Amino acid sequence: MRILLDVMGGDLPSRALVKGGVAVGRRRGIDVVFAGDPHEIEAALADSGEKPGAKFDVLPSSQTIHMENSPVKAVREKKDSSIVLGLNALKAGDVDAFVSPGNTGAVVAGSIFILDRIPEIPRPGILASLPTLTGEDILVIDVGANSDCTPEQLVHFGLMGASYAHSVLGIDEPTTGLLNIGAERGKGNRLIADTFAQLESGPLPFAGNVEAHHLLIDRPSDIVVCDGFVGNVFLKAVEGGISAVTSLLKRTIRGRAIAMIGALLMSGSFARVKGSLSYRTRGGAPLLGVNGVVVIAHGRSDAVAIGSAVEVACREVEVGLIDRLSQGMSGWREHGR
């Protein structure tokens, strides 16, 4: 297996990302192609005692798409960027998957332009896997690819999420919930009302409306469907809530001797909680619905996080997710949808 890793455009220097790529390449026994500044990549490979070759290869790029660049414009104009070159390599079959911590909008736009969509899927969606108190993750789709959605698009997010849950996670009959602001039928906006009706009469086991404060606590369904604007706000609000508690706790403890001793004794517990809720072990969010395995890593990814993102891509390749998604879509269409 050969995975392309874009090492440009993340918040961290490309050296850290190369280090993560080398580690996961060795651990997993896979080949990794690094797309980016060739001098930096070669220097980072040397630091890890490696040279460019079949196992760790370099796809040199001379341009970088930055976080603040307009996605569509950047993809059209920066033909020699790591994102465009990397997606072209995936399209050509030179690699099996593409992983990037760069500009999410550019990865989405580039994937649609270069790889195209899987037939029958109106829009691709980004799937986030979130830890819950039940010990099992909950899948939320879309968390940022589409800011304006139709009910049909939301239903297809559900279908793709279910395919992923079944194929990659081995969940037998995954249930889908609709992110809403109340549990009762009739709550929410027009988009939600129309989507509710379609999901209810659709082929997926439907868990009904689910509310944001329950997702991480009770895990009311395997998959949660929402438009990309709401999903992105949800994700960042959870992150904000968690940061607020932990920062406040640290600040309250500081300077109070007894509390500081307490914190010291508890530090193992803090580390466990931090580990359980960390994006670093989740690493990557698959972009589902484009014709190739694309995984979006957090912009703040370090070596560990980028390694988990590559792992996510490996699992998708192993189970043949793209074929399964295509077959799933034709299957659902034949069953009257």
Task: Give contact residues for its own copies (rule: CB under 8 A).
Answer: 68, 70, 132-133, 144, 147-148, 179, 181, 184, 186-190, 192, 211-217, 227-230, 232-249, 251-253, 256, 258-259, 261-270, 272-273, 276-277
* Token duo for residue 290: 């484009």
Count each helix (H run) and each strand (E run) in the chain, helices first.
Answer: 12, 11
Of 269 and 327, nearer to its own copies (C-beta) is 269
The CA angle 90-94-99, to the nearest 5 degrees, is 40
Specify whether the CB–CB gap between 154 and 230 falls below 8 A.
no
Of 197 and 261, nearer to its own copies (C-beta) is 261
Q: Closest distance between its own copies and the C-beta of residue 32, in Å?
A: 30
Q: Closest distance between its own copies and the C-beta of residue 271, in Å?
A: 9
Q: Closest distance between its own copies and the C-beta of residue 75, in Å?
A: 15
The CA angle 277-298-252, to the nearest 5 degrees, is 45
Of 31 and 211, nearer to its own copies (C-beta) is 211
Of 61 and 301, nearer to its own copies (C-beta) is 301
Q: At what angle do helices 82-91 and 104-115 cross, to 10 degrees?
A: 30
Burial 169-180 (b: 16+ CB within 10 A, else e): eebeebbbbbbb
Specify whether the CB–CB gap between 29 and 45 falls below 8 A.
no
Q: Closest distance between its own copies and the C-beta of residue 9, in Å?
A: 15
Of 62 and 147, nearer to its own copies (C-beta) is 147
CA distance 61 to 137: 36
Of 138 and 317, nearer to its own copies (C-beta) is 138
Q: Closest distance between its own copies and the C-beta of residue 275, in Å?
A: 10
Q: Closest distance between its own copies and the C-beta of residue 59, in Å?
A: 28
Of 119 and 186, nearer to its own copies (C-beta) is 186
CA distance 170 to 187: 32
Chain mean position to CA 23: 20
User: For the sheet containing 97-100, what is the strand order?
Assistant: 56-60, 31-36, 2-6, 97-100, 293-297, 284-288, 125-130, 138-141, 223-225, 176-180, 206-211
Q: Closest distance between its own copies and the C-beta of residue 60, in Å?
A: 29
